[in-house]
Amino acid sequence: MPVSARRSLARAQCVAIGSALPEQRLTNADLARLVDTNDEWIVSRTGIRERRICAPGQGLSSLALPAAQQCLERAGVSASELDGIIVATISGDQIMPSTANLLQHQLGAGRAFAYDMANACNGFVAALSTAACFIEAGRAKRILVVGGDVMSSLVDYSDRNTCILFGDGCGALLLEAGPADGPGLVGFALRSDGSGGGELCIPSSGSALRPSPATLAAGMQYVKQNGRHVFTQAIRRMAEVCNELLGELGLTTADIDLLVPHQANLRIIEPTAQRLGLPMERVVVNIERVGNTTAGTIPLALADAWTDGRLTDGTRVLVVAFGGGLTWGASYLTWGRG
């Protein structure tokens, strides 16, 4: 279902971005001391050199708060002006209360509704699209969209198939109502295929397979994946949904200044860009330093692009993600206030 905002009264402007990473670095050399792997294998197969890892007991809110504060400061907006906070994550501090609720309190966003959205690696694209709908419908003026994960709490550091990929990090983007013909989120497309759920999952993470000594001994509380299947599906689906969205909006790759893809593997990002006919100079890549932070990858990459001057007012951006569900999506936006 591609959705564009062409008939709405307002457009959701992407006003500012903030980000936060934990201090501790986990390098490939560190991982080689935990499992049978090496720097050369990890870099050549994934493009990742290091990732950041939270200290034990450090929850997502410890990253979401500084990311949100930085975003609001850059936007010149106070927390009391927020109508809503949506946090995309699969690793919030707790299932209840939501991390969005914790953030609402910590920020002092007294008027804001707050809830979490779990859509794995596609979480930020899903949350951004949902928040934009509130604004386009005139139901909210300002929504803080946060994406982040503490994947170190969900990764088995004795499993070399998964532990090399993931890291922790969080970003926050402020959406603000603006004129319908101005810059902002122009359209999005969200897709899913639940038949592939078992290919990338955390078996014991909810009501179905409850934690027991047996599930814990088998490591069922950690990410499991069919790496090859996820790899091929990610390339195929991300390119496909980008082309569908561009077609729906009547755009071509000439209308993209920056592609901001989910950072799962450099060997997924490069062929996706190639299928879209985009040179790597127009693609934001930071996986080398941060790995796959699940719902955090796209806001972290946007924040890096803003910091290095590639993302400025008027930059036309296509964001795209793929992850557990299976679920994937893309959004097309023009950065800044009108």
Span from 3-11, 17-25, 158-166, 272-280 in contact with ligand COA (CB under 6 A): 158-166
The 68-107 site mask, x for binding ligand COA (CB under 6 A), equals ----------------------------------------
β-partners of residue 328 are: 191, 322
Going from the C-alpha of 26 to that of each of 31, 61, 162, the distances in angstroms are: 7, 20, 14
| By the rule CB under 6 A, 265 interacts with ligand COA | yes
Q: Which of 71, 242, 262, 286 is catalytic?
A: 262
Closer to ligand COA by CB, 41 or 157: give it.
41
Q: Is 121 a catalytic residue?
A: yes
User: Shortest Cβ distance from residue 264 to ligand COA (Å)?
Assistant: 3
| By the rule CB under 6 A, 54 interacts with ligand COA | no
> Which residue in 8, 34, 41, 77 binds ligand COA (CB under 6 A)?
41
Closest CA to 182 of 2, 3, 317, 6: 6
| By the rule CB under 6 A, 48 interacts with ligand COA | no
Q: How many CA atoms lie within 13 A of 194 on its CB side?
A: 0
Provide the token pair at 34: 């935990």
| By the rule CB under 6 A, 164 interacts with ligand COA | yes
Binding residues with ligand COA: total (CB under 6 A): 19
| By the rule CB under 6 A, 220 interacts with ligand COA | no
Closer to ligand COA by CB, 5 or 285: give it.
285
Provide the token pair at 224: 């499991």
| By the rule CB under 6 A, 297 interacts with ligand COA | no
**By CB neighbour count within 10 A (0-12 exposed, 13-18 middle, 19+ buried), where does 69 fall?**
middle
What's the CA gap between 157 and 58, in Å, rounded? 17
| By the rule CB under 6 A, 192 interacts with ligand COA | no
Span from 52-60, 179-187, 214-222, 228-236 in contact with ligand COA (CB under 6 A): 228-236
Closest CA to 124 of 333, 337, 336: 333
**By CB neighbour count within 10 A (0-12 exposed, 13-18 middle, 19+ buried), where does 72 fall?**
buried
β-partners of residue 260 are: 319
Closest CA to 334 of 45, 127, 132: 132
Q: Is 170 a catalytic residue?
A: no
| By the rule CB under 6 A, 228 interacts with ligand COA | yes
Q: Which of 121, 163, 170, 242 is catalytic?
A: 121
Closest CA to 186 of 197, 201, 175, 198: 175
Q: Is 292 a catalytic residue?
A: yes
Residues forming the site for ligand COA (CB under 6 A): 37, 41, 45-46, 121, 160-161, 164-165, 200, 225, 227-228, 230-231, 264-265, 292, 323
What amino acid positions are annotated as catalytic residues? 121, 262, 292
